[in-house]
Amino acid sequence: MTGVGAPATSHRVLAAADVTTAAQLACLLEASAPKPGNVSPGRHFTNFRYEDLLASAAAIGGPLAGAAARPVGATVRLAVEATARWTRSNTNLGIVLLLAPLARAALLESPPTAASDPQSAIRNPQSAGPSTGIWRMGLRGALRRVLETTTVDDAHDVYAAIRLAAPGGLGRADAQDVADEPTMTLLEVMRLAADRDGIAREYATAFEATFDIGAPALGQARRDGLSWDDAVVETFLTLLAAAPDTHLARRSGATVAAEVSRHARTALLEGGVRSAAGQRAIDEMDLRLRDARNAANPGTTADLTAAAIFVVLLGGGWSAFGLD
């Protein structure tokens, strides 16, 4: 494989196969961690199970492998269509919307070099040195360029993907509603929705929560010696504490969403996954968030967590902090 094994720099070559593996692994790590209010091993929803998340992670591999060769919207649509062949519920629309431009940016940010490194930068233990932050800045710069060059056709494809996935609680928008055909670029329509949707807000801010909150929190947790499961839960709580979950707000209202964010902050203040008191607070929070309708599921925060994991993995985080 080419290099997603050279030390992390702003000029690594990332192989499509390695970027795809990182994306699928990010989905698996996010799904497997026992995040409060979400599906994880042994904790299912009435309309889908943990196994559906595994199938969804596998399904998006092919579309993401071609992210550099096609526009963002087409990759999103193909990934959602691939997922629909394996699951009957909307399991990963938000994740796909976040990972597609990140994957394209990661591949376009990696110019070919005369000598390809035979290892993968994702797997090289040296790849999380001081230059990781520099490379992450390069990735975000490439992401900005990807988002700024999206088109109306990208918006058409994303709207088609959203209608296929049929997420709950969308309602109607005054302008550029997903039930209609868009007349603006993908970035422009995302900016219109940024005040009410956390995924759209990421597009509008060049993935501010992913790069400024989620990825740093995950990297610090791993450097502190937390397992992947614990580090992912801590990252999820950190993102949720920073901003109310917009999926939850659509389903249960802004007051409930704000209260859930307050519970996340309380759990972190109690120590979170790092203490017995914090873990009790997380368990109590999980019990509060579970109901037959899954109306209190902080689903957007889970999507943001997956994006943060992807960014950390692209920067060499898989083996840099150990594989457990």
pLDDT in tens, 35-75: 999 998 988 888 889 999 999 999 999 999 999 999 999 99
pLDDT score of 190: 97
**Selected residue with higher pLDDT from 126 and 181:** 181
Tokens 């902050």 belong to 265
- Closest by CA position to 310, among listed 117, 100, 125: 100
Write the Ramachandran bin of 169: left for phi over 0, alpha for psi from -120 to 50, otherwise beta. Answer: left
The rounded distance, in Å, linking the Cα atoms of 173 and 169 is 12
Tell me the average pLDDT of the chain.
Answer: 87
Taking Cα atoms as reference points, which of 134, 132, 140, 156 lies closest to residue 108? 140
How many CB atoms within 10 Å of residue 58?
15
pLDDT at 117 over 70: no
What single letter denotes the amino acid at residue 259? E
Tell me the range of 129-138, 237-246, 247-256, 284-293 where mean pLDDT is highest.
237-246
Q: Please check whether residue 60 is in contact with residue 99, taking contact to mean a CB–CB distance below 8 angstroms.
A: yes
Task: For residue 324, name the pLDDT band (cuts at 50, 70, 90).
Answer: low
Give the pLDDT confidence of 142-162 residue by residue, as tens digits. Answer: 999 999 999 999 999 999 999
Residues in the chain: 324
**Two structure tokens written together for 27:** 């989905």
* Phi and psi, residue 43, nearest 5°: -130, 95
Mean pLDDT for 316-322 is: 75
Q: In percent, how much of the chain has pLDDT > 70? A: 86
Q: Which long-range contacts (CB under 8 A, 24 or more apart) does 219-226 make?
A: 219/128, 219/132, 219/312, 219/315, 219/317, 219/321, 222/312, 222/317, 222/320, 222/321, 222/322, 223/321, 226/273, 226/274
